[in-house]
Amino acid sequence: MESLVGVGLVFAGAAIAAALGFSGSAIGMGHAGQAAAGVLGEKPSLFGKMLLMQALPGSQGIYGLVGAFLILNFAGVLGGDGITAIDIGTGWMYFMAGLPIGIAGFFSGMFQGLVAASGISMIAKDESNMGRAIVLSVMVETWAIFGVLISFILLISIG
Amino acid sequence: MAVVEMKKVHFLFHKSDTEKVLTEIQNSSAVEVTGTIVDVDSGTVPMFFPNATLFAEVQKSLHFLISFEENKSLITKLLEGNTEFTSYENVIASLKDISVVKQLTSDILKLQNEEQQLREQIRILSEKQANLKKWSSLDISFADVKTEYTKTLFLEISEQKRRASNNLSLKTILEKQLEDIGEEILFHEVSQGLVAVTFYTADFDIEARLRAIISENAIEQIHLEGEYNHTIAQELQQINILLEETKGLYNALLGKIELFTKENISDLKLTHDALKWQEDRYAALALAGATGAVVSVTAWIKSAWISVITKNFNNSGIPVHIEEITITEDEVPPVEIENNRLIKPFEVITRLYGMPGHKDLDPTLFLAGFFFIFFGLSLTDVGYGMFLMIAALLLLFVFKVPKVIKNFATLLFAMGAASFSIGLLFGGYLGINVAVLPQFLQSLQQFDPIANPLPVFYLALGLGVVQIMFGMVLKIYSDARNNDLINGLLDQGPWLFLFVSVLLWLASSNQLFTAFNEQSFVYMTYMALVLIVVTSGRKGNSVFQKVQYSLLSLYQSIGYFSDILSYSRLLALGLATTALAFAVNLIADIVRDSVPVFGPVFAIVVLIIGHAFTLAVNTLGAFIHSARLQFVEFFGKFITDTGRSFKPLERKEQYVTITDK
């Protein structure tokens, strides 16, 4: 029973890492997409640049996916012999390891989308602002990356 | 393979040669006309576009005819092309006789007016028909609707309103409110919501009460009287006949327009583009300066083209003097990039970001290899790679598509090849388990990202380190080109030294490099850190600032750290492709086993749609993220500025594709 709870916690950690990352990206990309749609109504030729700007907040979903895979792999669920016995304490550790990437991914994805939307306005006024708009947006992503880092450190620390 | 060198020149020529000179410039696509600094003394050169009105008419006519063009299937459009494939001479010839063009547009305008009129007539008749049809069961003559003694109102209530009034019919609603009037008012009920009410004209009181009820209950009065004289049925019959006749005329006209379109639309498209080119030439001329006899056009020109265009003018016998102007310090030339055929497809990615500064390196050559690998790692599937390559070959050799699409098709082929080759190493075969495939394919597999993602994770980070270090080297090179080698070495050198030290330390601690002991590399790392601190401080103006810069310099390591971690997305994207492909196969299996008789057929449909979707979504994701890694993590290392794109005067092909050079 205890091992089932432990495994359940591993799954929960992976699920949180993925789901929060996906959600943050979805919200962020939604914000950016709305701004892009407005610009494209006036300047359809900017589609490629708009698509790129909209894709920037999608990174957090990808990091969530990476995190979920790493959690499942480190726990031996994926790639190992399948589901193995995991005690509750270890299960909680894996669960916690999913939190940095999930929570950071959620909030940074959301806010990166807002910055991307503002960057889209910059590009609409002057296409040469593309580089600056990308850099401003990507600054927010730094914290999601640190979330990946801490999650990874926690995972490799689990004995 | 670089940012093209630009020169600023004056073109000086006689006003009578204006059209020839600008045509030559336009055909070269190598000259961007800019505002002149020559004082305009007096202008006798016509600077306005003489065919502006005609062009507007041609645009309007073309827009009209296009709506009647034969609808081609997608395959036909791809095989025959969506533009007119023709020679340059044919396009120019379409403007030989302006009067012919004017007559053509005049004829089209007549057809357009006729079509609009008939369409409007049909609309009005259809509306009348719809209105009258509602009342068709009412057997009264419109001649009797308003007599000397009686008056009839046609009333309608909306279904929503009627339901809100306890679902009573309109007749009942009216009767209830007018029940004291008795026989002095007649109700002809047509339906639950339609009633004709007849009363004596002299009964002003009844009319007033009726109008009050109409107003309070949001009842609509339909004004049918005045338009008709006979019974509703007779009027409806007449309208039906008239409507059929008008529709007949309209269909005949449509046939005529379609035939006219078939015969004339190709010529009109050629004329459109010829006029567009002329308009662009005159727009450039508007920036020029002129005296009584001489026109001066100031322009940016690709340096290598000065001799070419001079030769072309000489061969054509056009006397033009090209004078080079010194570019001032604060003048920023436009930027254009040129690469060989192998690298050229990757220019799409550079152009997506924007041009580098005019003093920067053209990043296209340097990103090509990395983009190839990153895309391959992100899609990681032999099957999808093959599909992309086949699609690219069709676009390049079978389908008639615009040049822009052909350029992208070459990139698409490279992307497909990347996915194919890296898919072999990763065992990606449309989500099929490698274990069921032939032995020689299994032996090619070097990585299994699902079973063991860590090696792929480290590979992705390793590629990131390589690209970042390469970016630093490029920065040194770029600085050297701008006579700033010392600063380049002092800025990037210590960081490169740090990266190399850490890499050697990692290799040593994992027994991969045992030439020196681990401790030596630790000392190297400390030396690198000291070098970073020391060299960063040189930029400060005061002692305090030098110390401040020195201490803050190490903060940049966090930026490098996050850059490297960003490459972990390559693992995720590759995993996503594999997982989605696997899921599609799983669903197809379930469908095949659970649907009797037609299970295999439905399974094939699931496979086709599922893999098409997976291919589309993952190709887009792989492209976007591979490009984003170039823009954010790579370009930022050596691109210092964003340049203004070079916008030459050129022939923009909207409805035609010129087949000869």
Q: Where are the alpha helices (DSSP H) in B355-402?
A: 364-379, 382-393
B571–A contact, CB cutoff 8 A:
yes
- Output DSSP code: residue B13: E
- Predicted pLDDT of residue B50: 86
Looking at chain A, the whole-number percentage of residues with pLDDT higher than 90 is 52
Q: From CA A33, how far away is CA A16, in angstroms rounded? A: 25
d(CA A68, CA A92): 15
3-state class (DSSP) for residue B430: coil
Quote the crossing angle between the two packed helices B543-553 and B518-536, to the nearest 10°: 140
Determine whether the interchain pair A55/B636 forms a contact, defined as Cβ–Cβ distance below 8 Å.
no
- Measured CA to CA, the distance from residue B506 to residue B504 in angstroms comes to 5
- Residue B217 is given by DSSP the state T
Q: DSSP characters for B128-175?
A: HHHHHHHTTT---BGGGTB-SSEEEEEEE--HHHHHHTTT--HHHHHH
Question: How many A×B Cβ pairs under 8 Å?
Answer: 94
Residues 6+ apart with CB under 8 A from B576: A62, A65, B618, B621
Q: Does B452 touch chain A (CB under 8 A)?
A: yes
Q: In which residue are the tokens 């604060």 written?
A: B330
Distance CA A149, CA A152 (A): 5
Chain A contact present for B407, CB below 8 A: no
Q: Residue B498 to residues B55, B158, B267, B340, B517: CA-CA distances in angstroms?
A: 64, 80, 67, 35, 17
For chain A, which residues lie within 8 Å of any Cβ of chain B, measuring from their own Cβ?
A: 48-49, 51-52, 55-56, 58-59, 62-63, 65-66, 69-70, 73, 78-79, 127-132, 134-135, 138, 141-142, 145-146, 148-149
CB nearest to A62's CB, from B448, B453, B573: B573
Distance CA B343, CA A56 (A): 26
* Residues near B25 by beta carbon (within 8 Å), at least 6 away in sequence: B11, B31, B33, B284, B297, B299, B309, B649
Q: What is the pLDDT of residue B306?
A: 93
Inspect the interface and report whether the beta carbons of A138 and B642 lie closer than 8 Å. Answer: no
Which tokens is A6 given? Answer: 């432990």
Q: Å from B290 to nearest chain A CA?
A: 32
What is d(CA A12, CA A94) in angstroms, rounded to the nearest whole number? Answer: 9
* Cα–Cα nearest to B512, from B468, B462, B471, B558: B462
Cα B333 to Cα B365: distance, rounded to the nearest angstrom: 22
Q: Give the span between the Cα atoms of A150 and B629, in whole angstroms.
A: 22
For residue B210, give the nearest of B199, B202, B223 by alpha carbon: B199
- Given this model, what pLDDT does residue A2 score? 64
What pLDDT, on a 0 to 100 scale, did the predictor assign at position B46? Answer: 57
Give contacts of A58 with chain B, Cβ < 8 Å. 621, 624-625
Q: Which long-range contacts (CB under 8 A, 24 or more apart) does B234-243 make?
A: B235/B132, B235/B142, B236/B129, B236/B132, B236/B133, B236/B136, B239/B125, B239/B128, B239/B129, B239/B132, B240/B129, B242/B125, B243/B122, B243/B125, B243/B126, B243/B129
Chain A within 8 Å of B573 (Cβ-Cβ)? yes
Kindly list the residues from chain A whose CB atom is less than 8 angstroms away from the CB atom of residue B355: 128
| B318 alpha carbon, distance to own chain's centre | 40
Residues of B in contact with A130 (CB under 8 A): 353-354, 642
> Chain A contact for B565, CB < 8 A?
yes
Helix (H) or strand (E) holding B74: helix B74-80
pLDDT under 70: residue ranges of chain B: 1, 36-47, 146, 225-227, 661
Q: Residue B334 and residue B343: Cα distance in Å, rounded? A: 21
pLDDT band at A82 (very low <50, low <70, confident <90, very high): low
Cβ neighbourhood burial of B258 (10 Å; 0-12, 13-18, 19+): middle
Is residue B459 within 8 angstroms of chain A, CB to CB? no
Q: Do B354 and A62 touch (CB under 8 A)?
A: no
How many Cα atoms within 13 Å fall on the side-chain side of residue B428? 32
As a three-state string, the secondary structure of B517-586 is: CHHHHHHHHHHHHHHHHHHHHHHCCCHHHHHHHHHHHCCHHHHHHHHHHHCCHHHHHHHHHHHHHHHHHH
Q: What per-residue confidence (pLDDT) applies to A1?
A: 66
Q: Which of A66-80, A91-105, B618-632 has the highest mean pLDDT?
A: A91-105
Segment 631-650 of chain B within 8 Å of chain A by CB = 631-632, 635-636, 639, 642-645
> CA B451 to CA B28: how far, in whole Å?
57
Interchain proximity B632–A128, CB inside 8 Å: no
Residue B353 three-state SS:
helix
- According to DSSP, the β-strands at B185-191 and B194-200 are antiparallel
Tell me what pLDDT residue B558 has: 83
| pLDDT at position B660 | 78
Give the pLDDT score at B225.
62
C-beta atoms of A128 and B573 within 8 A: no
Contact B138, B196 (CB under 8 A): yes
- Cβ of A70 within 8 Å of Cβ of B561? The answer is no
CA distance A112 to chain B (A): 14
Q: Across the interface, do A128 and B569 touch by the CB < 8 Å criterion?
A: no
Q: Check if B504 contacts A (Cβ < 8 Å).
A: no
Of A116, A121, A136, nearest in space to A42 by CA: A121
Contact check, Cβ <8 Å, B353/A51: no
Residue B48 near residue B338, CB atoms below 8 Å: no
CB of B348 closer than 8 Å to CB of B323: no
Q: Pick the residue of B358, B408, B557, B631 with the most A CBs within 10 A to test the interface with A by mutation.
A: B631
Nearest to B336 by CA among B1, B658, B34: B1
CB atoms within 10 A of CB A60: 37
Residues of B in contact with A141 (CB under 8 A): 562, 566
In this complex, which of B355, B571, B631 lies closest to A134 when CB atoms are compared?
B631
Q: Taking CB atoms and an 8 Å limit, are A141 and B568 in contact across chains?
A: no
3-state DSSP helix/strand/coil percent for chain A, to nearest 5?
Answer: 90, 0, 10
Q: Are B170 and B193 contacting, i.e. CB atoms less than 8 angstroms apart?
A: yes
CB nearest to A131's CB, from B354, B561, B566: B354
Q: Which residues, other chains included, contact B117 with Cβ-Cβ below 8 Å and sequence gap of 6+?
A: none
**Interface with B, mutate which of A62, A70, A108 (most B CBs under 10 A):** A62
Residues of A in contact with B566 (CB under 8 A): 59, 141, 145
Per-residue pLDDT of A30-47, as tens digits, reads 999 999 999 999 999 889
- For B653, how many CA atoms within 13 A lie in the half-sphere containing its CB? 19
Shortest Cα distance, chain B CAs vs residue A17, angstroms? 13
C-alpha span between A93 and B551 (Å, rounded): 36
pLDDT at B37: 56
Chain B neighbors of A129, CB-CB under 8 A: 642
Opening angle at CA B514, ends B510 and B516, nearest 5: 120
The rounded distance, in Å, linking the Cα atoms of B433 and B437 is 7
The answer to whether the Cβ–Cβ distance between A73 and B562 falls below 8 Å is: no
DSSP B248-311: HHHHHHHHHHHHHHHHHHHHHHHHHHHHHHHHHHHHHHTT-EE-SSEEEEEEEEETTHHHHHHH
Locate the chain B residue with the closest alpha carbon to A52: B624
Q: How far is B33 from chain A (nearest CA, A)?
A: 20
Task: Give the pLDDT confidence score for residue B41 in this predicted structure.
Answer: 54
Cα B338 → chain centroid: 23
Pairing relation of β-strands B656-658 and B84-86?
A: parallel
Left (φ > 0), alpha (ψ -120 to 50) or beta: where does B431 sit? left
pLDDT at B102: 93
Nearest to A146 among B354, B562, B644 (CB): B562
Q: What sign for the dihedral angle of Cα B246, B247, B249, B254?
A: positive
- B14 bridge partner residues: B294
Among A129, A134, A145, select the one facing B562 at the smallest CB separation: A145
What is the structure's pLDDT at B330? Answer: 84
